[in-house]
Each structure stands twice: as structure tokens, then as C-alpha cells.
Amino acid sequence: DEGADVKPRPPVVTVMGHVDHGKTSLLDALRQTSVAAREAGGITQHLGAFVVEMQSGASITFLDTPGHAAFSAMRARGAAVTDIVVLVVAADDGVMPQTLEAMNHARAAKVPIVVAINKCDKPAADPERVKTQLGSEGLPLEDMGGDVQVVEVSAVSKIGLDKLEEALLLQSELMDLKSRVDGPAQAYVVEARLDRGRGPLVTAIVKAGTLVSGQHVVVGAEWGRIRAIRNMLGKTMDMAKPAMPIEIEGLKGLPMAGDDIVVVDSEDRARMLSSARTKKKKQDRLHKIEEGRI
């Protein structure tokens, strides 16, 4: 992706951690710090992806994970839609099995981690214990001379949110994130659901290029023509650029988290590629059954 149309882009940050350690609460709190959220009069609706625009003009794209399925699927495809993982650990519970699983996913995918020790408002909070636990699991925290930043936060009392945003911006500056802006989009599915009236609705992130309404696409093994692109405030847009979370409408079937979105030049090609991928999926499944893996 080298060339004249390669431009800096916001980081895409995935929030991961053990169940109930406060991933969604933390995102809700961060969302309320956003200029856009304030302009929209506060967004109450839950979405799995959104952009926080800061006073400084910088922005960060956040993804929630209701479990690790999405991240695993993306990692399996080598898509690496995520630039940075925020590892949320509750200060009272400490490191738990899914904390370690998330940490290992991120490290295997070579995605840098920023640790958010959450629930620091609780009387039983013990952030030092969390740091010791993570250190003994081999995570090189900056307190211990490593390069992994740690921030103490509370999603409920709204403590440390500015520090977390600063840590993420610092991490992303170190990474010097850039994407090609023009040309066909390369995008990934974050989540997909079926709406009774509108059919399959796909939350997606464009990684490179520009996705344009009306284009024919193949998404995983599904296909369709983009009928509408909406931003995370529900506003209809003609196109979407890198690091922008969007919702797209117009697919014939329901894709999966982690699926890639490929732009093709006609309905025929969309059908062809989709049916080839469906066949391949069936073959892969057959092999797994034959090998006793299912």
C-alpha cells in the first residue's frame, strides 16, 4: 500500500478481557467523552464499533468483543483488523482465564497491548496485584521496565479515561499507521445480524481504499450489492474511508465476524466468487469431518 494516496489514519482498537470485567462499560464511558457523541446528544444504543473524536481533533476507532469469536476469526484469516488491544482487567477480580486468553491472542497476532485496570473505584480494588500477576505471566509492563502501558481506570466513576486515550494515541503514534485511501476497499466484518425489515446488516471496518454505495461485493461466502452505508450515528453516506466503522445493507446472506469484504465489478462475478467460496467452505468442512476434527 505504498504511493501518493497513502495517508495517516486513526488506530483501530479492540477491547478484550474476562467476562464482566467492564469492556462494554468502559467503551460506553469513552464514547461519552467523544465530541460526536455530545453533538448527537448522547448515544444510548449499543453498537459494537464506534469512533471517539477527541477535543484535540485526533480520533480512535473502538471495537467491543462480546467474547473472542470475532478476534479469533480475524486472526485466523490474518486480517488483523485491530491495531491495538486494550486488555481490560477488573482490579478486584484480577487476572482470570479469559484475561490470559485475550493476552495470548494479542501477542500471537503481534498486536500491541495497552492494559486498562478497571473498577479502581471499588474498595476491594488492588491494581498492584494485577500488575504483579500480568508481569508473572510474562507481559512486559512499563512499570517493570517493559513497553506495555498500564492505566488505572473506572468506567463507573469515569476515572482515568483521558489517560487511557492518551496511552492509545501514544501507542498509535509509535506505530505510524497509514492506509491507501483511494481505489477498491479492503474491509472486514466486525459483526452481522439479521434485521426483519432490512435483511442482513453488517458492521464493518474499512482497512484500505474506499467502499462506495452501489458496489457489488463478496463478503466471506455471501454476496450482494451495497444498498446503503451508514455511519455509527445512523447517517447515510455515499462512501467509507479507512478506519471508519460503518453499517452496510444489501447482502443476500449473513456473513461472519472476521469475513473479508471484496469489491467486484459485476453481479455475475459476485455470484461466481460467492459460489466458489461456498464450495470451498463445504470442502473444508468435509476434510475436517474425514479427519475426525468435527
CB atoms within 10 A of CB 193: 11
Total residues contacting Mg ion (rule CB under 5 A)? 2
The whole-angstrom separation of Cα 184 and Cα 1 is 12
Closest residue to Na ion in the complex (CB): 20
Q: What are phi and psi of 135, to 5 degrees?
A: -60, -40
Binding part of the chain for Mg ion, among 22-30, 122-130, 185-193, 253-261 by CB under 5 A, reads 22-30
Question: Is the separation of the CB atoms in 117 and 147 below 8 Å?
Answer: no
Question: Is the separation of the CB atoms in 250 and 263 below 8 Å?
Answer: no
Give the residue, chosen from 5, 121, 143, 166, that forms a contact with ligand GTP under the rule CB under 6 A: 121
User: Cα–Cα distances in Å, from 135 out to 45, 64, 141, 218, 254?
Assistant: 37, 25, 7, 43, 41
H-helix or E-strand spanning residue 85: strand 84-90
How far apart are CB 64 and ligand GTP at their closest, in Å?
A: 7
The length of the chain, given as a count of residues: 294
Segment 15 to 44, residues that bind Na ion, using CB under 5 A: 20
How far apart are CB 86 and Na ion at their closest, in Å?
A: 16
The whole-angstrom separation of Cα 121 and Cα 147 is 26
User: Cα–Cα distances in Å, from 222 out to 219, 251, 266, 279, 280?
Assistant: 5, 7, 14, 12, 13
Total residues contacting ligand GTP (rule CB under 6 A)? 16
Segment 131 to 190, residues that bind ligand GTP, using CB under 6 A: 154-156
Decide which of Na ion, ligand GTP, Mg ion, none touches 179; Cβ closer than 5 to 8 Å per partner kind. Answer: none
Binding part of the chain for ligand GTP, among 39-47, 119-127, 128-136, 184-192 by CB under 6 A, reads 119-127
Binding part of the chain for ligand GTP, among 118-126, 213-221, 231-239, 275-283 by CB under 6 A, reads 118-126
Give the residue, chosen from 1, 5, 6, 24, that forms a contact with Mg ion under the rule CB under 5 A: 24
Of 86 and 244, the one with the shorter C-beta distance to ligand GTP is 86
How far apart are CB 111 and ligand GTP at their closest, in Å?
A: 19
Binding site for Mg ion (CB under 5 A): 23-24
Binding site for ligand GTP (CB under 6 A): 17, 19-25, 66, 118-119, 121-122, 154-156
